[in-house]
Structure 1
Amino acid sequence: MIAANTFFEELHNENISGVAYKNLDLKKKTIAHFATIGNATIADLCKELNSSAPKVTTLINELIKDNLVQDYGKIDSTGGRRPNLYGLAPEAGFFLGVEVRKYHINIGLIDIKKNLVKLSEKIPYRLNNSQESLDELCNVIQHFINELPISKDKILGMGINLSGRINFATGYSYSYFYFNEEPLNKVIEARIGIKTLLENDSRAMAYGEFCSGAVNEEKNVLFINLDYGIGMGVLINGQLYYGKSGYSGEFGHIPFFNNEIICHCGKKGCLETETSGEALVRMFQKKLQEGSSSIATVTKAPEEIQLEDILQAAINDDVLSIELLAEIGEKIGRGIALLINIFNPELVIIGGSISSTGNYIQLPIRSALNKYSLSLVNNDTQLKLSKLGSKAGIMGASLLARNKILSLN
């Protein structure tokens, strides 16, 4: 039997009404309180729900029966009977987060209390806009599920990240696998057999960082994803910002340069054309052709070098890699300065694979911010590196799926 079956039957019953609807609403608010604030007593929940102790007790007992909530025992009291503490049962349900990258896939499993239970990173994969690539994605996910120590029916939802234009609300991807009439999330859902949600990779990474990473009390935050491309996630007043059609955050496609380099979006002069990981690889290979040397060529021919090789070389103090990171970092910083002048955020987080080089990318960005952003605005903005690193996308995808399934939004 699926964990918390009764609650989820009620949750997906479109015909529920009257008292049953009110009870379901109180259960949803109770779950939301446990999920966002933490464990609570009956008295705490009475205040939160503006409901009586007998009513709340009945609801809690029903959720315990559904295996969604558990009794964590008595707590200390200033007087009278010691109250019991209630909260989500960790094994009530699990959520998958799948991050699809250009050359690999990362997959993680969290429990209902946001604990990362299992993680598999850098599973070999090649992202192409083809049916074969989609089939392989489904095969990788299915293999991960088959290896889990829990039964499949314990997995209540799955979030999948893809780069490009994704409509989270409808489940359509307009950059990859757009060759079915049905939304991509429904196609994958039918193949895997788990409720599936689709999200843009940068927004999912941003959400992971907002919920479990570098964000503390800040409510207005920009997350910059530096990888083969450049993306952005935006938090405004504590909420993930999507824009009217769900395509916000295309920072990499600002027409920033007067060059003749064609971006993968089909236009010329995009910020990505001179600052992305793809641009870094192109610049690196050109320097090698011109006679520069690098430790990255010890194990690979120049034409075989990928972004990860350059980043690892920089971490190992390779001069060419560091110099090129400084060059693109200065240009990225100019772009972020523009964003700071427009948004006046409390915090800017630098994430994605390029952020793994630490100060080699952060310092030129910071220098450019000081040079190009308005000082009054810049003084109010912190600049941090991602705290979650490669786990940001996995956490974001699984947490977004958790929020949707548990109706926490």
Structure 2
Amino acid sequence: MSTDFLIAVEGNRTAALKKKIIHYYIANGDATIADLCKEMDLSIPTVTKLVGELLEEEYILDFGKQETSGGRKPNIYGLNPESGYFIGVDVRRDSINIAAVDFKGKFISVEDEVPFTLENTPAALENLCIIIDEFIGSLKVSRDKILSVGINITGRVNPISGYSYSFFYFEEKPLSLIIEERLKLKVYIENDTRAMAYGEYMKGAVKGEKNLIFVNISWGLGVGIILDGKLYYGKSGFSGEFGHFCLYDNEIICHCGKKGCLETEASGSALHRMLIERYKEGSSTILADKINSGAEITLNDLIDAIQKEDVLSIEILEHIGTNLGKAIAGLMNIFNPELVILGGGLSLTDEYIRLPIKSAVRKYSLNLVNQDTEIKISKLGDHAGVLGACLLSRGKILGMI
């Protein structure tokens, strides 16, 4: 199977047309040559030749004749799921989700919460590479069929240059190239929230909407923005730093080094801080034993407490939801999106977080704006990031993004 056209230089018309055919199948599913001709505005002989080459290269399959009410029955063609595979790596604060999808974007293997500590050290980077390498080695597909690897990292990431400025910024070389040399595979890096937004757009809660905002409510806070069906990156790839709106006159230092950030009052880290403060002031919580012992309290611990109806945790979450809803109302007034998706760890608390956000949005956004915007919980849940990483790596190597 040839992969030359996937990495063909710009200006190669045949390669570009082949990619366009694959894009069509990804977006629309199986189709006839006539369907492709109409979409691409090309002649039947030209499309037939391109489809024939893609069949030889095993990127598409011939599924035989289509059932019709009469006349000549056309052949149906579609993507070959075994023509190539893509790896997605969703790096979190204290674990990694890693997965592989086939060429059609279906999971073939997923490993959740692989132990990992995100630190800005060469040792942590090496550990990340080892985890990815071992996962690829565990797959029941040959390594030469892995077409690319997508890695999500929190913070400021420039996916075009391949640099991460929040983690693993040790050398002059781009992080993507450093990992490529280590894995001997094509590597793309991406901001974690943007990848989650793309996963939801392609396979999750989006049902035809083209303008949406994905809010990642995890330990930190970020947004992924899709405008007219395309991810919005900004000039340097740093769009979506929602958590660093300076909205509060407080003395709490955000991890970015500044004070008063939205993240200090509306995130998993804010929930963690407020819970411990309230407990020390005399409130009760089912997490008391962990607090007293000095054990680390993770985001999963906080989510579990809420799901077990810990009154203090729920009360603080409602407060955080109100703070967040006010800020989301501002985004809605600016972007007028069709859809707002609540994702990330705290979205797993479902209505506990959605209801205070919706209430604040109704109160603080313009009526004509919020009437046209639906607010949903992420459909992909904990897999939004890792699926988004897989699909983004596919989209980038195919020139879709």
TM-score tier, shorter chain, comes to over 0.9
Q: Which residue of 2 aligns with 1:110?
A: 101
Q: Residue type of the partner of 1:313?
A: A
- State the match for 2:334 in structure 1: 342
Q: Give 3-state SS (helix, strand or coil) of 1:142's partner.
A: helix
Stretch of structure 1 that moved more, 374-383 or 228-237: 374-383
Answer yes or no: is 1:260 the counterpart of 2:251.
yes
Q: Match of 1:224, SS?
A: strand
Whole-angstrom CA distance in 1 between matches of 2:42 and 2:318: 58
1:176 paired with 2:171, answer no
Deviations 1:261-280 (A, max 9, x none): 11111111000111111111
> Percent identity of the aligned residues?
51
The equivalences for 1:43-58 within 5 A come to 43-58=34-49
Pair 1:376–1:43, CA change in 2 (3 A) = closer
Q: Deviations over 1:174-193 (max 9, x none)?
A: 00000111100111111111
Q: Matched residue pairs, number? A: 400
In the other structure, the counterpart of 2:375 is: 383
State the alpha-carbon separation in 1 of the partners of residues 52 and 68 from structure 2: 22
RMSD after superposition: 1.5
Alignment partners' CA distance in 2, 1:252 and 1:22: 43
- Answer yes or no: is the 8 Å Cα contact 2:7–2:397 preserved in 1: no
In structure 2, relative to structure 1, the CA distance for the partners of 1:407 and 1:255 (3 Å cut) is same
CA 1:13 to 1:386, structure 2 compared with 1: closer, same or farther past 3 Å? Answer: closer
| From 302, 305, 313, the counterpart of 1:321 | 313
Unaligned runs of 5+ in 1: none
Q: Contact 1:222/1:348 (CA < 8 Å) preserved in 2?
A: yes
TM-superposed CA distance for 1:134, in Å, is: 0.4
Q: How far, CA to CA, are the matches of 2:333 and 2:46 in structure 1? A: 51
Say whether 1:284 aligns with 2:279: no
Give the whole-Å Cα distance in 2 for the aligned partners of 1:370 and 1:241: 26
Once the 2 structures are TM-superposed, how far is the Cα of residue 299 of structure 1 from its aligned partner? 6.0
| 2:393 counterpart residue number | 401
1:31-83 superposed Cα distances (whole Å, 9 cap, x missing partner): 11111111111222222233333332222121111111111111112332211
Instruction: Render the CA deviation track for 1:353-394: whole Å, top value 9, x for unaligned.
Output: 000001111111111111111212111111111110011001
Contact 2:87 2:390 in 1 (8 A): yes
Match of residue 60, structure 2, among 48, 69, 72: 69
User: Which amino acid in 1 is paired with 2:359?
Assistant: S
Counterpart check, 1:12 vs 2:4: no
- The CA distance in 2 between the partners of 1:47 and 1:367, in whole Å, is 46
- 3-state DSSP class of the match of 2:265? helix
Pick the aligned partner of 2:302 from 300, 310, 314: 310
Distance in 2 (alpha carbons) for counterparts of 1:32 and 1:333: 37
Instruction: Provide the residue aligned with 1:37 in structure 2.
Output: 28
Deviation, structure 1 residue 297: 3.4
Matched residue type, 1:331 = N
Which residue identity is paired with 1:324?
A: I
Number of the residue aligned with 1:274: 265
Match of residue 148 from structure 1: 139
Equivalent residue number for residue 148 of structure 2: 157
Structure 1 residue 128 corresponds to structure 2 residue 119? yes
The corresponding residue for 1:206 is: 197
| Alignment check: 8 A CA contact 1:285 1:303 kept | no
Flag structure 2 segments of 5+ consecutive residues without an equivalent. Answer: none
Shift of 1:289: 1.8
CA contact (8 A) 1:220 1:238 kept: yes
Secondary structure in 2 aligned to 1:92?
A: coil
TM-score by length of 2: 0.96
Question: Match for 1:151: what amino acid?
Answer: S
> Shift of residue 300 of structure 1?
6.4
- C-alpha separation between the residues in 2 aligned to 1:11 and 1:108? 22
Q: Which amino acid aligns with 1:395?
A: L
Distance 1:204 1:174, change over 3 A: same
SS in 2 for 1:308: helix
Instruction: Select 1:97's aligned residue among 88, 96, 118.
Output: 88
SS at match of 1:210: helix
Question: C-alpha displacement at 1:23, in angstroms?
Answer: 2.3
Q: Deviations over 1:218-270 (max 9, x none)?
A: 11111100011000000111111111111111110000100011111111100
TM-score if structure 1 supplies the norm length? 0.95
Q: Which piece of structure 1 moves more, 254-263 or 366-375?
A: 366-375
Is 1:225 aligned with 2:216? yes
Answer yes or no: is the 8 Å Cα contact 2:94–2:118 preserved in 1: yes
**Partner of residue 206 from structure 2, selected from 205, 215, 222:** 215
In 2, Cα distance between the equivalents of 1:80 and 1:212?
A: 36
Aligned equivalents of 1:400 and 1:350: distance in 2?
A: 20
- Following TM superposition, by how much is the alpha carbon of 1:286 offset from its aligned partner in structure 2, in angstroms? 1.6
